[in-house]
Amino acid sequence: MKLVKGAWALLVGIKDGLVLMAMLGFFALLYAVVSASPNPRGGEDGALLLALDGPVVEQSETIDPRELLLGQSPVGRQYQLSDILQALKAAERDDDIKTVVLDLQGFQGGGQVALEEIARALDRIKAANKPVLAYAGGYFDDSYLLAAHASEIWLDPMGAAAFAGPGGSRLYFKGLIDRLGVNVHVYRVGKFKSFVEPYTRSDQSPEAKAANEALAGALWSNWKENVANARPKAQIAAFVANPLGGLDAAGGSLTQAALKAGLVDKLGDRAAFGKRVAAIAGGNDHGPAGNFRYSALSEYLAAHPARHGGNKIGIVTVAGDIVDGKAPAGTAGGDTISEIVMGALAKQDLKALVVRIDSPGGSAFAAERIRLALAGARAKGLPVVASMGNVAASGGYWITGAADKVFAEPSTITGSIGVFGILPTFEATLAKYGVTADGIKTTPLSGQPDLFAGTNATADAFLQAGVEDIYARFLRLVSTSRKLPLDKVGEIAQGRVWDGGTARQLGLVDAFGSLDDAVAEAARMAKISPDSVSRVYLKPEKSFLASLFEDDIETSPSGHVDIFTQMARRQQALALRGLSDAKAMLDGPAIQVRCLECPSSLPLKAAHSPQDLTLIDRIVSWLI
């Protein structure tokens, strides 16, 4: 007994020591953050500096302080669209801001709708007689969509401009699945619902190829039109059609070719660019020549917060994959969002709700839970307006069924009204290693769906019926909310993805417009003046540690490389996205309303901790 008591006392002592060390480490870290000297070049008048060394997203992912402290956090710097627009709106009428600077050297892109909104805000800056200057070592589709709206575009002398347009390869796993002996059971409705094709085919089906070509063509047409309108003298069409055409006349120089085509205005390194900005914004005495006076985005937002008070309109953000249960920001948890909506309704201080959607879908049950919460707000007399961002497809479109009015942009990706389920079983895989499964059954569904012995005909028919039932619900929901005949909805559904322009013609959306337009419409429906509105972004509270680290994420230097390395890494990211999609399919849920063709602007997470591994992860890891 004494031995047991002594061991227990030792364990308690170790526990207390670890707690004490953690507390000391925390307060030391807190002191370091609070007492750290601010950047001597920041927080000044002159220029608003948008150094976008990460992606633009609808909603930033939540930082896990535990992973950050252990150096394992996969979340890098992200820039929230609403923050950028708020800063540009304030800078437009701020006499102390003389210019806006776009540093796009490490820019990791964003959805086309989000970038078009920023571009319109930059146009308003120029209309206020404030120049916009852009700099990068290389311009791609995303970065150039912003830079084209600058007053001056600067390119590093060792850089280039390269425009690829939408498209590229996608991974298909059918050959690997056959080699491993995995039996993939697919339950689907809609001939265009192609999310499952990478697991059942080695290439695109003709239907999926036709739909994808139409979607990519519409988005690319919008991009070219936007850029051509912003820089009418630039030879955009010729440069895109023949990237090598002007090289001979430019002596083989990629930068000179971009300059001669009118794509950029100046060639110069960062120091030369800084001197140009300093001539407008004023020089900075704390550094060498080329430094200029500026305010960084986070500092400027802190000094110019959004309006508070007045008539409140709640903004509900549905961003990222729609998943069951609770989820952090950047992922749309059905329980999380519905509880946020119901909590806001309980306060009874909102005049209307606007749901901002940037999601390719996910769990059908989570999407319905969010829709029901919004429908509850509408039943209480609050106007509900849906605002589509880059993507509002499948489960993301499902949610709009609760809205009084739906706004989209021509470049929004939407539709994908279809349902599928996918379930892998491993009977043939296990048999290769001499492992079999057997047991007793009392009903046709006993032990089904059986991952190790395979599904039976009853289970397959039952799961297919479940998919068809949810698809029928989806069609009825769209028919009722859009006031369209059920037969017509059936024709335009089938899992096909549409661009916003076509979706409006089909009656899937009501009008073109931004989030601002949706808020103004919600105010009119609530019979209040749009000028009296203050926006309240409804979201869960962040932990103290997460908010402490949010603005101090160390940005990876991977973006600050030559243009060719960046091009290669973008293709690597597409491959990783395919693997991520495969994992999402295997992890479930079994029945999903998700869009394969719909891109995500969020970066991939780098790794999963061992405790996060699912059964599928462990089986695949064991097989490999």
Residue 67 resides in a domain: yes
SS3 42: coil
What the block records as the tokens of 337 is 């969002």
- Residue 70 has φ and ψ, to the nearest 5°, of -90, 0
Check residue 620 and give its pLDDT: 46
- Amino acid at position 525, single letter: M
Check residue 596 and give its pLDDT: 60
Q: Whose CA is closest to 452, among 588, 579, 612, 615?
A: 615
The residues that are catalytic are 193, 394
- Amino acid at position 218, single letter: A
Nearest 5°: CA angle at 500, between 496 and 502? 65
- Taking the C-alpha atoms of residue 169 and residue 576, their distance in angstroms, rounded to an integer, is 12
Residue 131 resides in a domain: yes
C-alpha pair distances (Å), 316 with each of 126, 338, 341, 374, 485? 31, 10, 7, 9, 30
The two counts, helices (H) then strands (E), for the chain are: 23, 22
- Taking the C-alpha atoms of residue 545 and residue 547, their distance in angstroms, rounded to an integer, is 5
Indicate the helix (H) or strand (E) that contains 132.
Answer: strand 132-139
Residue 331, C-beta contacts closer than 8 angstroms, at least 6 positions apart: 61, 319, 320, 321, 323
Residue 415, C-beta contacts closer than 8 angstroms, at least 6 positions apart: 393, 397, 492, 493, 496, 497, 498, 503, 508
Domain that holds residue 67: 46-163+243-303
- What is the SS3 assignment for 511-558? EECCHHHHHHHHHHHCCCCHHHEEEEEECCCCCHHHHHHHHHCCCCHH
Contact 564, 333 (CB under 8 A): no
Residue 51 resides in a domain: yes
- What residue ranges in 452-516 does DSSP mark as E strands? 497-499, 511-512
Q: Which residues of the chain have pLDDT under 50?
A: 27-28, 30-42, 73-74, 551-559, 564-565, 568, 571, 601-613, 615-624
* Rg value, the chain, Cα: 27
Q: Whose CA is closest to 230, among 89, 154, 116, 136?
A: 116
- Residue 29 CA, chain-centre distance (Å), reads 31
Residue 421, C-beta contacts closer than 8 angstroms, at least 6 positions apart: 186, 187, 188, 463, 466, 467, 590, 591, 592
Residue 249 resides in a domain: yes
Total number of domains in the chain: 1
Residue 23 resides in a domain: no
Residue 123 resides in a domain: yes
SS3 313: strand
Nearest 5°: CA angle at 546, between 540 and 550? 105
C-alpha pair distances (Å), 419 with each of 201, 464, 591? 18, 10, 7
Q: Can you give the CATH number for the domain in which 115 is found?
A: 3.90.226.10
- Taking the C-alpha atoms of residue 250 and residue 92, their distance in angstroms, rounded to an integer, is 38
Indicate the helix (H) or strand (E) that contains 592.
Answer: strand 591-594
- Taking the C-alpha atoms of residue 599 and residue 231, their distance in angstroms, rounded to an integer, is 27
Residue 359 resides in a domain: no
Q: Whose CA is closest to 46, among 265, 286, 305?
A: 286
- What is the SS3 assignment for 362-428? EEHHHHHHHHHHHHHHHHCCCCEEEEEEEEEECHHHHHHHHCCEEEECCCCEEECCCEEEEEEECHH
Q: Whose CA is closest to 267, among 135, 134, 157?
A: 157
- What residue ranges in 23-114 does DSSP mark as E strands? 46-51, 56-57, 79-80, 97-103
Residue keyed to tokens 């409804």: 538
Does pTM surpass 0.85? Answer: no
- Taking the C-alpha atoms of residue 248 and residue 411, their distance in angstroms, rounded to an integer, is 35
Residue 211 resides in a domain: no
Contact 37, 286 (CB under 8 A): no
Torsion, CA 511, CA 512, CA 518, CA 520, rounded to 10: -90
What the block records as the tokens of 396 is 């993301």
Check residue 197 and give its pLDDT: 87
Contact 257, 247 (CB under 8 A): yes
